[in-house]
Amino acid sequence: MISLWSALGVTILVGTVQAALDIVPGATWTATNTGEHIQAHGAGLIEENGIYYMIGEEKTDGSAFQAVNCYSSTNLIEWSLEGRLLSRTEEAGDLGPNRVIERPKVIKNDQTGQYVMWLHVDSSDYRDARVGVATSDSLCGEYEYRESFRPLGFQSRDIGLFKDDDGSAYLLSEDREYGTRVIKLTDDYLNVSEVTFGWEYFAESPALVKHQDRYFIFGSHLTGWDPNDNVYSHAESLEGPWSEWTEFAPVGSLTYRSQVNYVQPLGTDKAIYMGDRWEPNNLGASTYIWLPLKFDGTDVTLDWYDRWTVDVEAGDWYDSVDVTAQEGEDGDLSNGGIVISCSRCTGSEAAGYLGGDEDGTVTFNVDVESDGRVTLVFKYLNGDYNSRFAAVSVNGQEQDCAFLSTAHYSTGTGNSVVHVDLSGGVNIIVVSGSTGWGPDIDQLLVPNI
């Protein structure tokens, strides 16, 4: 069972097991079955039979195309890698070496039964400016790449895809010579048919959602990999008239340093903003900024939450329960693990020299009142360019956890999350070596269940 939270943060207990699984924007999100940070940048989401599939770009080796990956989740919080839907080919071509493949989006054609993927397909200098189409009989299986072209002859860089309630589908396309268009797809979704609406206004990374019979389109300004204050516009019909573009996150926050990649409807009257926080010099270390998107008539706002939770069955989101912080330096350090000074850390100290040849280890005793599956947050530093890793064991149950580089941080520490089962009473949480050196642990945050 389950505990329910009201939006006011009041906890209503039902039974004896609490769930406190959270979305932590900007954290390292380790996939449950790879031990690595999720590689699904510029992603889209699609749900089928209660399972959500996140389909996005592998960016481990930088900006050139590597693969389109598919991850699955039943709760939008814990994700497993299912596989690669498209992979780089050895020979030259759209999917060959040094190509750009960005913003994959998949919709199902209910007439043909096919899953149709649209992509931004480009040369490394972004001059090709084309769209690509791939198809599959299986949502999260291998896709057959079909072709690339300029839609209706127009340049097309960032794209989005939107399927309306009546089955008609639309390409959202940014054309550097014109602005951004909504272009209707043919009935089989394999081509474009006509322009539905065009703005002589540049909205990159366009994402469209229908909310209570009104269309809302979101997009960013053109600042490369750097974030800006993203904007939205709304209309009763896709053909317009559309409202003026306006910001929805606090101006100056640069959309909490993110760029919209998708908007996921939640229940009947809610939605989730999904954005990429790009790290231009280390794209594989880019993180995901997911936050509740709040609608009030035609007003849309995005507030920041360090952590929040979503219940996909209830179609609602909630504040997280409070957490208790344990200092890394207060844990039991053994093997090579020692207390190190850390000017950015709370208490100016951290647990350091974890992992390595001596398998430095830090152990925390965590006391909670009830059984429950929770999201633990490690506040950490990793000065390397590459991820570091640790084995996290909770009462003997071990899993790998990744810790993205924090070398580009000018202040503060990074967050990495791991989802674990706690038992009412004292739990033994051991952080030890996995591969090479682990991170320096500033704090462990544990939900108060």
Binding residues vs ligand DGJ (CB under 6 A)? 42, 102, 158, 204-205, 224-225, 259
Please report, for residues 280, 283, 406, the alpha-carbon distance to residue 277 in angstroms, rounded to integers and kept in the order given. 9, 9, 13
Q: Would you state the structure tokens that stand for residue 171, as one six-digit string?
A: 């390409």
Name which of 224 and 241 has its Cβ closer to ligand DGJ: 224
Least separation in angstroms between CB 175 and ligand DGJ = 14
CB of 122 to ligand DGJ, least distance (A): 8
CB of 281 to ligand DGJ, least distance (A): 12
What DSSP assignment string belongs to 75-114?
SSSS-EEEEEEEE--SSSSTTSTTEEEEEEEEEE-TTT--
Token pair of 378 as six digits: 């490690």
d(CA 51, CA 78): 11
Name which of 26 and 42 has its Cβ closer to ligand DGJ: 42
Q: Nearer Cβ to ligand DGJ, position 207 or 342?
A: 207
Q: What residues have CB less than 8 Å from 19, skipping those under 6 apart?
A: 2, 3, 372, 373, 374
In terms of CB distance, is 258 or 326 closer to ligand DGJ? 258
CB of 64 to ligand DGJ, least distance (A): 12
Which residue lies nearer to ligand DGJ by CB, 67 or 368? 67
Q: How far is the CB of 276 from ligand DGJ (least distance, A)?
A: 8
- Write the burial class of residue 150 (CB in 10 Å: 0-12 exposed, 13-18 middle, 19+ buried): middle
State the minimum distance, in angstroms, from the CB of residue 117 to ligand DGJ. 16
Please confirm whether the linkage preceding 241 is cis (ω < 30° from 0): yes
3-class SS shares of the chain: helix, strand, coil, % to 5 = 5, 55, 45
The number of helices, as runs of H, and strands, as runs of E, in the chain is: 1, 37
Q: Which is nearer to ligand DGJ, 109 or 261 (CB)?
A: 261
Residue number, 158 or 440, with CB nearest to ligand DGJ = 158
Rounded Cα gap, residues 157 and 101, in angstroms:
10
Encoding tokens for residue 183?
């272009």
Query: Closest approach of Cβ 410 to ligand DGJ, in Å?
Result: 22
Pick the closer one to ligand DGJ by CB: 80 or 228: 228
Closest approach, Cβ 57 to ligand DGJ, in A, equals 9
CB 280, min distance to ligand DGJ, A: 8
Q: Which residue is nearest to ligand DGJ (CB)?
A: 224
**Whole-angstrom Cα distance, residue 51 to residue 109?**
18
What does the block give as tokens for 321? Answer: 């329960």
Burial class (CB in 10 A: 0-12, 13-18, 19+), 187: middle
Nearer to ligand DGJ, 286 or 434 (CB): 286
